Structure 1
Amino acid sequence: MKELKHLNKYFKKYWLKLFFGIIITIVARLFQLIMPSYVNNSITVVEQYIKAEIEKSTAQELLLEYILIIVGAALLSGFFTFLMRQLIINISRYIEYDLKNEIFDHYQKLSLNFYKKNRTGDLMNRISEDVNEVRMYAGPAIMYGIQTLTLFACLIPLMFIKAPTLAAYTLLPLPFLSVLIYQISKVIHKRSTIVQQYLSTLSTFTQEIFSGVSVIKAYALEPQTNEDLEKLAIEGKEKSVSLAKVNAWFFPLMILLIGISNILVIYIGGKQYLAGEIEVGLIAEFILYVNMLTWPVAIVGWLTSIVQRAAASQERINEFLNQESEIKNMPTHEHTVKGKIEFKDVDFTYQDTNINALKHLSFTINEGETTAIIGKTGSGKSTILDLVARLYDTTSGEILIDDEPIKNIDLTSLRESIGAVPQDAFLFSDSIKNNIKFGKEDATDQEIMDIAKDAVVHENIMGFSKKYDTVLGERGITLSGGQKQRVSIARALIKKPQIYLFDDCLSAVDTETEEEILNNLKKASKNRTTLIVSHRVSSAKNADKILVLDDGRLIQEGTHDELNTREGYYKELYSKQLSEKES
């Protein structure tokens, strides 16, 4: 139960509704207890009339009175049961809503390392399937638990008061039923956990397959994919069948033992009636009592199973909730970002791969400067942009923004001042207009069109049947690589931040389009700090400063003209790309 203590804050939040829900649950059960006594009274009246102990008119009046009481108690019990479900089950839905939001908010706070270590399918399963298991504890388990306790507390003493011997025989099979169901529930819990883990695996597999469907088709991997899915499906079927086999014992055992209780009531009660110890109506009353106890007794094991599954699910949820982000937001004071960036002897190593991406890197970019970063693949270019956006923290060394340590600046304020265009452009399954507005929510249609023209994607968009209202497929699959990059550029430009981070975002466009975009970027980024990562010298030559990296180290620094007069990597790259362009 210690894992479920996490929900106590939500129970405190909704304590008033929960309190009234519990009171109403008790009241509903008490009204239910009225009915068996009046069924007994009604049978006794009929018996007395048959024996001519009361007149027909009196018997009819009494029967009508008892029937009205039974119907009234049933209606009141049903009404309060309705209110009970409205309160307690609704509370469980509120808690489910709050818990999902808590998990989602926490997911967003965790660093990129967390997402590298965990699969999307597992993350989704914990926020959906696991939260649903916890909801069953927060609602149905509490509701049925209160019902069970109320019936046990009221009904069993009442049965022993009315007929001790008959009560003892009647209740004899019920402990066996509870123990059997408890044992079955333990097995169900183990096998349910296995099925749940399998669902995470299946979710991850299908998510990856659908995301990479273009690669699967390109390599004609459909038969292999179907075979892999078939293996997973067979494995899932075996796990589910194993669970179903145990579940199959649940209700037959319950019906068997409750049937034995009913037989004992009739047999023992019949003997006592023949001996003149009890009235025949009491037998009927006890049969009703047994059937009223059927579900509560059976539910003891079921409730235990719910609590076990909820605890297991909450443990999985807590595993992620207890993970703290490696990026701590601890601003020392308010700071408006202007755009000066300085790296001081920065080292950075990726935790997941242990790759030392940057080594003793130092440079300064002044406010409003455009800086290009050139280097071979794996030289650490993209890592610099990630560190400026503080997606990671340095392993050693220090990064300063406007001469202020980056860790002292509010994380939200820092990222709001940055417009980033990643190398792998990510677009959402929404309209093109909304994807661009992601950079500025209140942007007008005219602003969106103007920015799209700057990103040289307006003509492409106008060629679509629904133009800017065209809804993109998952991850922007509707668009070509170059179109995705340009929409992503438009999204950054419309934000008008103090710092632009362009990570090789023109790799999928032709040189003419690239030139046009770069000219527009130069106008848009005037007086704004801009970092451009590229493999092309054409993207870098007009920058105020060029940084050349090799294996995480800064090997050259200067303007295009300066670097082109020195022997080294930049001059070689420029000569090579120039000759390729001419040929």
Structure 2
Amino acid sequence: MKELKHLNKYFKKYWFKLFLGILITIIARVFSLIMPSYVNKSIQAVEGFISETISISEAKGLLFEYILIIVGAALLSGLFTFLMRQTIINVSRYIEYDLKNEVFDHYQFLNLNFYKKNRIGDLMNRISEDVNQVRMYGGPAIMYGIQTLTLFACLIPLMFIKAPTLAAYTLLPLPFLSVLIYQISKIIHKRSTKVQEYLSTLSTFTQESFSGVSVIKAYGLEPKINAELNDLAIEGKDTSMDLAKVNAWFFPLMILLIGISNIFVIYIGGKQYINGEIASIGIIAEFILYVNMLTWPVAVVGWLTSIVQRAEASQKRINEFLQVQPTIKNEVETATPIIGSIEFRNVTFTYEDTNITALNNISFAIEAGQTVAFLGKTGSGKSSILDLVARLYDTSSGEVLIDGTPVQELNLNSLRSAIGAVPQDAFLFSDTIENNIRFGDENASFEEIVSVAKKAAVHANIEGFTNKYDTVLGERGITLSGGQKQRVSIARALLKNPQIFLFDDCLSAVDTETEEEILNNLKQVSQNKTTLIVSHRVSSAKNADKIIVLENGSIIQEGTHDELNNIEGYYKELYLNQLSEKE
């Protein structure tokens, strides 16, 4: 159970409720133990009447008294059982809530390489299915475990006090049960881990299939995907059946062993009563009730073992990710104001997952308030520059400085709060258009949202929708066209009103007229703000204060539009080609 030690901090946090729940559980079980002894006394009262040692009125009086005690104890036991569930089960829900938040918070702090190495379906399964399995350990397992321990602690001494020989025979099957549970639980642990791993695989497959449903339909891949899912389902069935077959041994074994105990009670108890070793046949009835009271707790031992093994397997999978440390850490606690000057000093950057060197010993400086455009072929390193400015990655060598300070020495929250980024692949949430834009500033008024939408040249499109700004988008903004998604993302960045704008080829899906309109609006909005524009179009770059041309991660040209257009090279060639295409 070493992996489950991670939950100790939550048990410590809710120790009072947990302690109260355990105390109530013990009280509830103690009240339930009253019934068998008073059943014995009731039978003795009847025996007393039959043997004429007491009168019928005395027998009736005793039976009435014992029945009231039995009913009262049962009601109190039921009340405390209710309170038990209200405390211990609630604690398990609190732990589930805290653990999900811990996992989610940790996910958010992990760097992008983590998400390149792990699939979304697996991440989702660990925060949902695995956490739910752990919750079962933090609630039901503790509750039923305490019940079982309490019954064993109270019943076994009580049985030996009342009839030692009968108790010994009655409890004889229990050691065999313990050995069987131990052997079976080891198998359950291995198979539970396989089941959880399969669920992650299934979540990943279905998530990718639903996200890429347009590609699946376009290529007519439905039969292939169905066949793959069928194979996956068969694998899941076989994996789950392997676990179910082992779990299926528990209850039949329990019932068998409890049945043997009942036979011992009747046979040994009957012999002792005949031989006069026990005074009343009521003791046999009492012991039968004791054995049947032990039936569920003994059966629960197997169920608890299964729960603990599943929780152990799930917590191990959760811990694997919780132990992954983010490489991008906030080293500065105090806020650091950002003005907007940017400098790259001999920066080399290699992607860890692919080992591709995106930038090779590049250096340049951007003054605060300048607009700089980056041009180059696909894979030349343009987007990598923006990622390093936002500190989504750290350099392999060299330094990135903001306002003369290395980015590692800036407060990470301050840095990213000062940046308005529009990625190449615009991401929109499954929410209203208004809320997607408001993501840039949650306190913005509706008028401000409309204003930035107009500047991003998307207001007219939004007004054409039936629900206008209240239009709810599909997952990842699938309701909108590529150009509309890009413009909504631009509006979001404009609403944030940051010190640094990062536009990563965010006008690639709009026509040239709309592009020109947006660029003119951006020129007004971005005055006194540092703006970095990545593009494949000269039209997006020609009005920039500086243009930097990249090739294979190195700077091959740098200057203004006029300067670069007057010399032979990549920029002039690109400009002439795009000019002729436009004409």
TM-score, normalised via structure 1 length: 0.98
Does the CA contact (< 8 Å) of 2:270 and 2:284 recur in 1?
yes
Structure 1 position 323, deviation (Å)? 1.0
Question: Which amino acid in 1 is paired with 2:126?
Answer: R
Deviation of 1:30 after TM superposition, in Å, equals 0.9
Given that 2:141 and 2:308 are in contact with CA atoms closer than 8 Å, whether structure 1 keeps it comes out as yes
The alpha-carbon distance between structure 1 residues 5 and 242, as it changes in their structure 2 partners (threshold 3 A), is: closer
Distance 1:334 1:185 in 2: 52
Is 1:210 aligned to residue 210 of structure 2?
yes
Aligned to 2:3: 3
Cα contact 2:501–2:529 (8 A) shared by 1: yes
1:429-468 aligned at under 5 Å gives the runs 429-468=430-469
Alignment partners' CA distance in 1, 2:125 and 2:255: 35
Q: Quick one: distance in 2 between partners of 1:17 and 1:184? A: 33
Aligned partners of 2:32 and 2:73 also within 8 Å:
yes
Matched, 1:539 2:503: no
| Aligned equivalent of 2:381 | 380
Confirm or deny: 8 A CA contact 2:247 2:306 kept in the other structure.
no
Q: Distance in 1 between matches of 2:226 and 2:3?
A: 39
Matches of 1:135 and 1:51, distance apart in 2: 57
> What is the distance in 2 between the residues matched to 1:434 and 1:123?
26
1:367 match: 368
Given that 1:122 and 1:200 are in contact with CA atoms closer than 8 Å, whether structure 2 keeps it comes out as yes
Q: Distance in 2 between matches of 1:472 and 1:487?
A: 12
User: Is 2:234 aligned against 1:262?
Assistant: no
- Residue 351 of structure 1: aligned partner: 352
Question: RMSD of the TM alignment (CA)?
Answer: 1.1
Secondary structure (helix, strand or coil) at the match of 1:494 reads: helix
Q: Tell me which moved more, 228-237 or 383-392.
A: 228-237
Kindly provide the amino acid, as one letter, of the partner of residue 101 in structure 2: N
Task: Note the 1:28-67 alignment, pairs <5 A.
Answer: 28-67=28-67
Gapped runs of 5+ residues in structure 2? none
Residue 293 (structure 2) aligns with: 292
Cα offsets for 1:76-129 (capped at 9, x unmatched): 111111111111111111011001101100100000011111111111111111
Unaligned runs of 5+ in 1: none
Which piece of structure 1 moves more, 418-427 or 182-191? Answer: 182-191
Contact 1:380/1:551 (<8 A) preserved? yes
Q: Does 1:493 align with 2:504?
A: no
Partner of 1:271: 271
**How many angstroms apart in 2 are the aligned matches of 1:323 and 1:191?**
25
How far off its partner does 1:179 sit? 2.6
2:221 corresponds to: 221
CA contact (8 A) 1:348 1:395 kept: yes
Secondary structure at the aligned position of 1:276 is classed as coil
Q: Structure 1, residues 437-466: CA drift from partner, whole Å, max 9, x if none? A: 000101111111111111111111111111
Give distance in 1, aligned partners of 2:304 and 2:195.
19
Instruction: Please name the residue that 1:244 is paired with.
Output: 244
Q: Which residue of 2 aligns with 1:559?
A: 560
Aligned partner letter, 1:431: T
Task: Report if aligned partners of 1:45, 1:63 keep a CA contact under 8 Å in 2.
Answer: yes
Q: Which deviates further from its counterpart, 309-318 or 69-78?
A: 309-318
Q: Distance in 1 between matches of 2:297 and 2:178?
A: 9
User: What is aligned with 1:23?
Assistant: 23
Give the structure 2 partner of residue 329 of structure 1.
Answer: 330
Q: Which residue number in structure 1 is paired with residue 233 of structure 2?
A: 233
Alpha-carbon offset, residue 149 of structure 1: 1.5
**Inter-partner Cα distance in structure 2 for 1:58 and 1:332:** 81
Q: Matched residues in 2 for 1:48 and 1:399: separation?
A: 96
Aligned to 1:71: 71
User: Residue 86 of structure 1 corresponds to which residue in structure 2?
Assistant: 86
C-alpha contact (below 8 Å) 1:25/1:80 kept by paired residues: yes
Give secondary structure in 2 for the equivalent of 1:509.
coil
Cα distance in 1, alignment partners of residues 242 and 102 from structure 2? 34
| Pairwise CA distance, 1:175 | 2.1
Structure 1 letter corresponding to 2:427: F
Query: For residues 211 and 95 of structure 1, what CA distance do their matches in structure 2 show?
Result: 32
> 1:255 and 1:15 mapped to 2: Cα distance?
35
Amino acid in structure 2 at the alignment position of 1:274: I
* One-letter amino acid of the counterpart of residue 433, structure 1: E
Contact 1:547 1:556 in 2 (8 A): yes
Tell me the CA shift for residue 5 of structure 1.
1.6
Q: Structure 2: how far apart are the matches of 1:196 and 1:6?
A: 19
- After superposition, the C-alpha distances for 1:344-376 in whole angstroms (9 at most, x for unaligned) are 000000000000000111001100011100000
> How many Å separate the matches in 2 of 1:247 and 1:157?
31
How far apart are residue 332 of structure 1 and its match?
Answer: 7.2
C-alpha separation between the residues in 2 aligned to 1:167 and 1:231?
53
Kept in 1, the 8 Å contact 2:192–2:313? The answer is no
Separation (CA, whole Å) in 1 of partners of 2:525 and 2:117 = 38
2:132 is matched with 132
Identity percentage over the alignment?
Answer: 78
SS of residue paired to 1:53: coil
- Measured against aligned partners, the alpha-carbon deviations of 1:218-243 in whole angstroms (never above 9, x if no partner) come to 11111111111111111111222222
SS at match of 2:506: coil
- 1:52 aligned counterpart, secondary structure: coil
Q: Which amino acid aligns with 2:236?
A: G
Shift of 1:333: 5.2
SS of residue in 1 equivalent to 2:27: helix
Where in structure 2 are the equivalents of 1:190-201 lying within 5 Å?
190-201=190-201
| 1:178–1:301 Cα contact (<8 Å) kept | no
**Is 1:403 aligned with 2:381?**
no
Work out the CA distance in 2 between the residues paired with 1:23 and 1:117.
47
The residue that corresponds to 2:341 in the other structure is 340
Preserved CA contact (<8 Å) 2:137 2:307:
yes
**Deviations 1:2-29 (Å, cap 9, x if unpaired)?**
2222111111111111111111111111
1:508 matched to which residue of 2? Answer: 509
Residue type of the partner of 1:36? P
| Contact 1:518 1:539 survives alignment (8 Å) | yes
The TM-score normalised by the length of structure 2 is 0.98
Counterparts of 1:102-117 in structure 2, within 5 Å, are 102-117=102-117
Report Cα offsets for 1:170-204 as digits up to 9, x if no partner. 11122223332333333233222211111100000
**SS at 1:440 equivalent:** coil
- Would you say the 8 A contact 2:504–2:533 is kept in 1? yes
Structure 1 match to 2:315: 314
Q: What SS is found at the alignment partner of 1:345?
A: strand
* Structure 1 position 319, deviation (Å): 1.1
